[in-house]
Chains A and B, each alone.
Chain A
Amino acid sequence: DAKTTQPTSMDCAEGRAANLPCNHSTISGNEYVYWYRQIHSQGPQYIIHGLKNNETNEMASLIITEDRKSSTLILPHATLRDTAVYYCIVRDGRDDKIIFGKGTRLHILP
């Protein structure tokens, strides 16, 4: 079962920052937070992951709270192509498989 809680859906205006929250209150010390997205039935796409420090790459930023019980994925300048289902996943670094939950359906509005 997914160890995370995400809103079912969110809207964001094009050009604005999209902030997607995720709760993972039962996360343990050796578990990472991963984010993937799925654009309209395409294969899931890796976005970013982190353990406790904030992370940034060319796609997004990941902000993890100090107690690690929640995190936020930030898409700094959302475009229409960012419309997708976003999955927050908690996973042990030794765990091989990915368990997907229902994710957040993000709609970018023109």
Chain B
Amino acid sequence: EPEVTQTPSHQVTQMGQEVILRCVPISNHLYFYWYRQILGQKVEFLVSFYNNEISEKSEIFDDQFSVERPDGSNFTLKIRSTKLEDSAMYFCASRTGGSTEAFFGQGTRLTVV
């Protein structure tokens, strides 16, 4: 069964460093998303992406964040200068154009030290 793949599963980085989280969405999907979940808290929407541009972003998604679809398969989330409070699980999701249910990856656990 096709699935959304995220790498790495766990990333440890020093405060102030840049990180790139990678996602390979399901191949025929057109809409892409990033969510995050701080330990013990709700899953929070960050950004949606369609047709090579951001379609919606939350207040969390400030200038330190950016997304890119550099080729036909990868979808990345970059955090320019990480802060301690960026420590969280980051989930990528995707969906087709003809359906409304999104499929999530298994997440990347980001730890900022």
CB pair A96 B107 closer than 8 Å: no
CB distance from A45 to the nearest CB of B (A): 7
B33: chain A residues at CB < 8 Å are 97
Q: Which of A41, A93, A97 contacts B56 (CB 8 A)?
A: A97
Give the contact stretch, choosing among A5-13, A19-27, A73-81, A99-107: A99-107
CB pair A97 B45 closer than 8 Å: yes
Q: Interface residue count for A (Cβ, 8 Å)? A: 20
CB pair B42 A43 closer than 8 Å: no
CB distance from B4 to the nearest CB of A (A): 7
B interface, over-half SS: strand
- The size bracket of the interface on B is 20 to 34
A residues near B (Cβ < 8 Å) are 32, 34, 38, 41-46, 49, 87, 91, 93, 96-102
B residues near A (Cβ < 8 Å) are 4, 31, 33, 35, 37, 42-45, 48, 50, 55-56, 89, 91, 93, 100-107
> Could you give 13 example pairs across A and B, Cβ below 8 Å?
A34-B100, A34-B101, A41-B37, A43-B91, A43-B105, A43-B106, A46-B102, A87-B43, A96-B48, A96-B50, A98-B45, A101-B42, A102-B42
